[in-house]
């Protein structure tokens, strides 16, 4: 399914470094992080069930590997950070790759997921990643996005605690990021619509939103 493995490295080094540094900072200094980060989001509580069929591409799927844990061998997780792929659990395929330049054929996947990964990108990179997600999605397939509603660009890093309940395991993790651009459910929805996707469901909780978009 990969078209050109020689180009599977992340081509935007600044994005790759940014994501790796943010992930690593949270993991290695978790005891200090509440004092260092200027804004601490309250917990996001998310319950996921195994309700997707077919092959799934998980964007930014290293680290805790939530989608990979849930769907196992049906998942291909791509990430710009090798360390996050190395830290991810076993049971699914993991590939070092730039989300803005996916090395997969058109219509290769039944679903594409972004589980708290768009917030690590600037607006320009988000648009490219969403367009690529739409491209590799089969007709009628779904793009599934979980992310934070960020009212304004943050000059300082911020964090969000995420507690995820899967059918057979509970996962608690912390995402830390220096967000350069504001985002909310409306802006991400518009990006998806511009990429040729249509809204299936939109939901907002206290500290995060969930979008399901369909390729039309």
3-state secondary structure the chain: CECCHHHCCCCCHHHHHHHHHHHHHHHHCCCCHHHHCCEEEEEEEEECCCCCCCCEEEECCCCCCHHHHHHHHHEEEEECCHHHHHHCCCCCEEEECCCCCCCECCCCEEEEEEECCHHHCCHHHHHHHHHHHHHHEEEEEEEEEEECCECCCCCCCEEEEEEEECCCCEEEEEEEECCCCCECHHHHHHHHHHCCEEEEEEEECCCCEEEEEEEC
Identify whether 204 is part of a domain.
Answer: yes
How high is the pLDDT of residue 148? 84
CB 95 within 8 A of CB 77: yes
pLDDT at residue 180 greater than cutoff 60 = yes
What is the structure's pLDDT at 29? 52
Structurally, how many domains does the chain consist of? 1
Of 60-74, 112-126, 147-161, minimum mean pLDDT range: 147-161
For residues 175 and 162, the answer to whether their CB atoms sit within 8 Å is: yes
Higher pLDDT, 213 or 164: 213
What is the reported pLDDT for 172?
Answer: 81
Task: Report the pLDDT value the prediction gives residue 67, as an integer from 0 to 100.
Answer: 95
Does 171 or 97 have the greater pLDDT score?
97
In a domain, 1, yes or no: no
% residues pLDDT > 90 (the chain)? 53
Q: How high is the pLDDT of residue 20?
A: 55
Tell whether 2 is covered by a domain. no
Tens-digit pLDDT profile for residues 123-179: 999 999 999 999 999 999 999 999 987 765 555 556 677 888 898 888 887 776 666
Residue 40: inside a domain: yes
Distance CA 79, CA 121 (A): 12
- Res 3 pLDDT > 70: no
Residue 191 pLDDT > 70:
yes
With a CB cutoff of 8 Å and minimum separation 6, the contacts of 35 are none
Question: What percentage of the chain reaches a pLDDT higher than 70?
Answer: 73
Q: What is the mean pLDDT of residues 120-125?
A: 90
7-42 pLDDT per residue, tens: 333 444 444 455 455 555 555 555 454 444 444 445
| Mean pLDDT score of the chain | 81
Domain enclosing residue 205, as ranges = 7-215
Query: Could you tell me the CATH number of the domain that includes residue 24?
Result: 3.40.50.150
């Amino acid at each position: 399914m990969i078209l050109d493995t020689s180009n599977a490295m992340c081509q935007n080094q600044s994005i790759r470094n940014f994501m790796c540094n943010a992930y690593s900072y949270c993991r290695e200094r978790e005891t200090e992080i509440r004092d260092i980060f200027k804004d601490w989001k309250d917990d996001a509580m998310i319950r996921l069930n195994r309700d997707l069929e077919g092959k799934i591409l998980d964007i930014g799927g290293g680290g805790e590997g939530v989608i990979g844990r849930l769907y196992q061998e049906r998942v291909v997780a791509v990430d710009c950070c090798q360390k996050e792929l190395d830290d991810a659990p076993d049971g699914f395929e993991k590939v070092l790759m730039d989300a803005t330049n996916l090395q997969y054929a058109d219509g290769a996947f039944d679903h594409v997921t972004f589980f708290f990964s768009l917030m690590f990108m600037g607006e320009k990179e988000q648009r490219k990643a969403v367009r690529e997600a739409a491209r590799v999605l089969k007709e009628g397939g779904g793009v599934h996005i979980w992310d934070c509603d960020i009212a304004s660009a943050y000059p300082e890093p911020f964090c969000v605690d995420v507690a995820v309940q899967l059918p057979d395991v509970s996962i608690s993790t912390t995402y830390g990021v220096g967000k350069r651009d504001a985002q909310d459910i409306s802006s991400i929805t518009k990006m998806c619509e511009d990429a040729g996707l249509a809204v299936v469901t939109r939901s907002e909780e206290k500290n995060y939103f969930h979008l399901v978009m369909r390729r039309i």
